[in-house]
Amino acid sequence: MENADGLFPVTKDELVQEGGIVTLRCPVQENDNSSLQWSNPAQQTLFFDDKKALRDNRIALVYYSRHELAISISNMTLRDEGDYTCSIFTMPVRTAVAKVVVLAAPKKPEISGYIGPIVEGRTITLMCNTSGTKPLPTIRWLKGSDVMEGQTYESDIADQRAYALSNVVNLTVWRKDNGAVIECAVNHRALQDNVYTAQQRIEVHYSPEVVIEASKEVPEEGEEFMLHCYGKGNPEPSYFNWLRFNGELSERAVVRHENLSFTYLNKTDAGVYQCVAKNIIGTGAKNYSLRVHGDPLDLAPASPPAPVNVSLTPSRHDSTTSSDTDPLSQLTQSSIDHAVIGGIVAVIVFIALCLFIVLVRYLIRHKGTYLTHEAKGLDDAPDADTAIINAEVGHSSSDEKKEYFI
């Protein structure tokens, strides 16, 4: 630091990276022909005026005059850090101190703790390690663009004036983390704008997630049909099976690993089917509701139609054509209705005629009996009823008489 009388030397603190060069300057305004000297932190003389005092090839003279002594030290190490003294040998000796700080860049970090695939839902502990650094660096963890908080542990490196640093992070992994890259980033003053990084890609094992794809969304009766089951798991599923709810698979259903196919569909094949996929981690399942339409002519349109008369005879035209627009279809329908009604009327007339004939015959027979009995008793009776009674009585008397004469 400069004094008012200009007799004190002037120095400046220096910051240098490990392995770099530092230049120490010691100017003095007024000098009565006194000597200048630079000393190291161990108070060893480096230069006395322009004469080198310490045998160290790293130390060199930069500039010398009665008003300044400048030297340089190359390949700086952490051991070279400390207070360097510039002295002018006047009476008394006047000194100034330059504090030299050596920055030691951290070594490239390494990640430890990953030993292989992790099962989904479990937690792993990763450690980022660096050493030979001074002062302490900062360490942060990244998973993609997400920053993860870790815990730092530091320790001194014996005889090196440097530090070893570790940062530990605990990470619970999920299937979305499969293939994710975990990065450890180290920042330090000695690196300036550079950052040292280490990366670790992780693999996550998880049970299958099942997706079913159909060859057709709404199959028709009689068509071929197939369901394909995708098991998205890690590792890939090694086992597939197909089940049917509330029933068994039909004879037309063929199971080939992840495929369920039908040679031709029947309405009875409609129902809920389940695909089961399994790997070494676990099992996944997915349901599929199968709807089977009948022949296209029997299918109802997608949107509710207006009420129409349905023909008993299927039309050979497109199933979406209404029978109301076909005159031949209407005529056929009307003829069938009239024939049915005519047949019913004929049966009713026939039954009525039969009943009438039976009734007439009964009445005729009853009237004949009445007239016969009336004739037999007509001689002695005043009216028809009395005549019939007399005829019956007379008939009985005749029989009795016959029996008597015999």
Q: What is the DSSP track for 40-87?
A: -TT--EEEETTEE-S--TTEEEEEEETTEEEEEE-S--GGG-EEEEEE
Q: Domain spans of the chain? A: 14-103, 110-202, 206-296, 365-393
* Residue owning tokens 């009216």: 383
What confidence tens digit (pLDDT) does each residue in 174-193 have? 999 999 999 999 999 888 88
Which CATH architecture best describes the domain 110-202?
A: Sandwich (2.60)
Same fold, 14-103 and 110-202: yes
Phi, psi of 367 (to 5 degrees): -70, -35
Residue 11's pLDDT is 94
Please provide the DSSP assignment of 214-276 as one string: ES-SSPBTT--EEEEEEEEEESPP-EEEEEETTS---TTEEEETTEEEESS--GGG-EEEEEE
Long-range contacts of 402-406, Cβ-Cβ distance < 8 Å, separation of 24 or more: none
pLDDT at 103: 92
Report the number of secondary-structure helices (H) and strands (E) in the chain.
2, 25
Dihedrals φ, ψ of 80, to 5°?
-85, -5
Residues in Cβ contact with 267 at an 8 Å cutoff, skipping those fewer than 6 apart: 221, 292, 294
Length of the chain: 406
What is the distance in angstroms between the CA of the first residue and the CA of the last residue of the chain? 190
Give the separation between CA 52 and CA 56, rounded to whole angstroms. Answer: 9
Tokens 């080939």 found at: 256
> Can you give the pLDDT of all 406 residues of the chain as single tens digits?
444 456 789 999 999 999 999 999 999 988 888 899 999 999 999 999 999 999 899 999 999 998 999 999 999 999 999 999 999 998 889 999 999 999 998 999 999 999 999 999 999 999 999 998 888 899 999 998 899 999 999 888 766 788 899 999 999 999 999 999 999 999 998 888 888 999 999 999 999 999 999 999 889 888 899 999 999 999 999 999 999 998 889 888 999 989 999 988 988 899 999 999 999 999 999 999 999 886 443 444 333 333 333 333 333 333 333 334 343 344 334 445 556 677 787 778 888 888 888 887 778 776 555 444 444 444 555 555 555 555 554 444 444 444 433 3
Asked whether 164 and 145 are in contact (CB, 8 A), the reply is no
Q: Which amino acid is at 67?
A: H
As to burial, measured by CB atoms within 10 angstroms (0-12 exposed, 13-18 middle, 19+ buried), residue 182 is buried
Distances (CA, A) of 198 to 89, 111, 192: 54, 7, 18
With contact defined as beta carbons under 8 Å apart, do 36 and 9 qualify? yes
The verdict on domain 206-296 having CATH code 2.60.40.10 is yes
Q: Which of 148, 280, 264 is nearest to 206 (CA)?
A: 280
CATH code of domain 14-103: 2.60.40.10
Which secondary structure element, helix H or strand E, spans residue 370, and what is its range? helix 327-376
Output DSSP code: residue 375. H
- What is the C-alpha to C-alpha distance for residues 134 and 164, in angstroms, rounded to an integer? 9
Q: Sheet harboring 138-143: ordered strands across?
A: 146-148, 138-143, 181-187, 196-201
Instruction: Tell whether omega for the bond before 109 is within 30 degrees of 0, i.e. cis.
Output: no
Q: How many CB atoms lie under 10 A from the CB of residue 195? A: 13
Quick check: bond before 305 cis, omega within 30? no
CA distance 317 to 286: 40
pLDDT confidence of residue 236:
94
Which amino acid would we find at residue 386? T
Give me 266's structure tokens: 């029947």
